[in-house]
A and B are shown apart, each in its own frame.
Chain A
Amino acid sequence: GDSVTQTEGPVTLSEGTSLTVNCSYETKQYPTLFWYVQYPGEGPQLLFKVPKANEKGSNRGFEATYNKEATSFHLQKASVQESDSAVYYCALGGRGGNYKPTFGKGTSLVVHP
């Protein structure tokens, strides 16, 4: 079946430093890839999605490029802020009938001022 592997947390950074959260996936389908973010006390919310290979998604200064050859979808941000402290989930969705998603285990990010 499908699987997603992402950087284990917690990741601790200082404000202004760069972030990379690695995400690799395995699937026999042609997936749509997502990054979700979950703040304390809330449910996950979509950060962005990228439906096509070799395309880039971006939102709130975060970006990720869907690399079909490397089956990777790493999340990056050039300069993190304390407000970015949250749990980040990489996820892939099926296509054409299989709507059950596959989520990574989540990466907790703590940003210190």
Chain B
Amino acid sequence: NAGVIQTPRHKVTGKGQEATLWCEPISGHSAVFWYRQTIVQGLEFLTYFRNQAPIDDSGMPKERFSAQMPNQSHSTLKIQSTQPQDSAVYLCASSPLGGYNYAEQFFGPGTRLTVL
């Protein structure tokens, strides 16, 4: 089991460019979560999918950020017109949701985005 895979591990963009981050969840996990992590804000929830359907995007900035899960093997987080304040580590996690009890999350190593 390779765990959650995130690519690229590091990405540098210029201000105003687009950035697309990829996540491959653990096979068989039914939920995928995206987070943003900074020194100041800590771990911020962005959005999550269950069985590929978007369930909660309450943490997503309404402009410029979008997430998709076109199939069960990958999800993408796209940031349009990147700004320096978007610089952060973006973490993806998957979870084997099922039954009534909440299950733990398995995190990937993250993508460090730097916007110059």
B108 within 8 A of A: yes
Q: State how many residues of chain B have any CB contact under 8 Å with chain A.
A: 26
B93 within 8 A of A: yes
User: How many Cβ-Cβ contacts under 8 Å join chain A to chain B?
Assistant: 57
Give the distance in Å from the alpha carbon of A48 to the alpha carbon of B46 in the complex: 24
Q: State how many residues of chain A have any CB contact under 8 Å with chain B.
A: 23
A42 to B42, Cβ gap below 8 A?
A: no
B104 to A106, Cβ gap below 8 A?
A: no
Give the distance in Å from the alpha carbon of A113 to the alpha carbon of B96 in the complex: 39
Give the distance in Å from the alpha carbon of A104 to the alpha carbon of B45 in the complex: 11
Choose the segment among A12-20, A62-70, A73-81, A91-99 that binds chain B (4+ C-beta atoms closer than 8 Å).
Answer: A91-99
Q: Which residues of B contact A (CB under 8 A)?
A: 4, 31, 33, 42-43, 45, 48, 50, 55-56, 58, 91, 93, 95, 97, 100-110
